[in-house]
C-alpha cells in the first residue's frame, strides 16, 4: 500500500531495543512520518511503534536456493521450502519454518496449483509466512 502510494520504503529487521520475537519493521523517511501514519491509520493497519534509528538495520534474506528433483522443483528462501510438480505447477510440499502459520499455510496451499493457491501474503501472518511468500514469488517468476 505504501509503495503504491509512492513512498520509498523497505522491509527490514527490527533494531535490538524493540525486538520481541517474530517482528519486522518498515523503514520510512522520518520526514514523511505523519503522512505515512495517516495512510496506515486510514487502512486500519496502524504500526505498533514508530521509532527513529541511527544504526543500520538487518536486511531480510534475499538469497534463494533451488533443488531440481527432475519431476519436482524445490525453492528455499531463508528457512522455508516450497516444492512443486513441474508439469502441473501443483504445490506438493511445504517444509521448514517454525512459526505456527507454517502448518496452516501448508494445509491451505498443498495440492493446489500455483495459480489457484492463496499466496502466503494473503493468509500468512509471520516472518516464516513472509519467507514462504518470497519462495512462492521466486517460484512463480521461474
Partner 1 sequence: MIGVVGTVPDQDFPLVTGETRLKGDSIHIRGKQIPVNRGTPALLAAAIKTAQVLDQGAPFAYLVGDVGLGHGSRRLYEYLSGQLGKRDFDTIVFHYLQPDVDWHNRVLFAVEEMKRRPVLIADAGFMYAAKMSGQSSQYDLFTPDIGELAFLADEEAPHPFYTRGFILHEENRAPELIARAYQHENAARCLLVKGKQDYVADRQGIQATIDIPMEEAMEAIGGTGDTLTGIVTALIGTGMEVVKAAAIAARVNRLAGHYANPTPAMQVIEMVQHIPRALSEILQRG
The least CB distance from residue 50 to partner 1, in Å, is 19
**Helix 101-109 and helix 127-141: axis angle, to 10°?**
30
Binding residue for partner 1 (CB under 8 A) from 7, 13, 40, 50?
13
Q: Is 7 in the site for partner 1 (CB under 8 A)?
A: no
The least CB distance from residue 34 to partner 1, in Å, is 28
Q: Is 42 in the site for partner 1 (CB under 8 A)?
A: no
What is the residue-wise DSSP string for 94-114?
Answer: EEE--STHHHHHHHHHTTSBT
Q: What's the rounded Cα separation, in Å, for the pair 39 and 100?
A: 30
Binding string, 66-105, against partner 1, x = CB under 8 A? Answer: -x-x-xx-x-x-xx-x-x-x------xxxxxxxxxxxxxx
The least CB distance from residue 83 to partner 1, in Å, is 4
Q: What's the rounded Cα separation, in Å, for the pair 24 and 10?
A: 10
Residue 80 near residue 44 (C-beta atoms within 8 A): no
C-alpha cell of residue 26: 518498515
The least CB distance from residue 37 to partner 1, in Å, is 23
Amino acid at each position: 500500500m505504501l509503495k503504491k502510494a509512492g513512498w520509498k520504503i523497505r522491509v527490514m529487521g527490527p533494531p535490538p531495543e524493540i525486538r520481541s520475537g517474530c517482528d519486522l519493521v518498515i523503514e520510512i523517511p522520518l520526514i514523511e512520518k505523519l503522512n505515512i501514519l495517516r495512510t496506515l491509520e486510514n487502512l486500519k493497519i496502524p504500526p505498533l511503534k514508530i521509532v527513529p534509528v541511527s544504526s543500520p538495520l538487518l536486511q531480510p534474506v534475499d538469497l534463494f536456493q533451488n533443488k531440481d528433483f527432475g519431476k519436482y522443483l524445490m525453492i528455499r528462501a531463508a528457512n522455508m521450502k516450497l516444492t512443486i510438480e513441474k508439469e502441473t505447477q501443483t504445490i506438493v510440499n511445504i517444509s521448514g519454518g517454525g512459526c505456527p502459520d507454517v502448518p496452516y499455510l501448508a494445509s491451505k496451499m498443498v495440492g493446489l496449483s500455483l495459480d489457484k493457491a492463496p499466496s502466503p501474503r494473503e493468509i500468512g501472518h509471520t516472518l516464516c509466512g513472509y519467507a514462504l511468500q518470497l519462495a512462492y514469488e521466486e517460484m512463480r517468476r521461474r
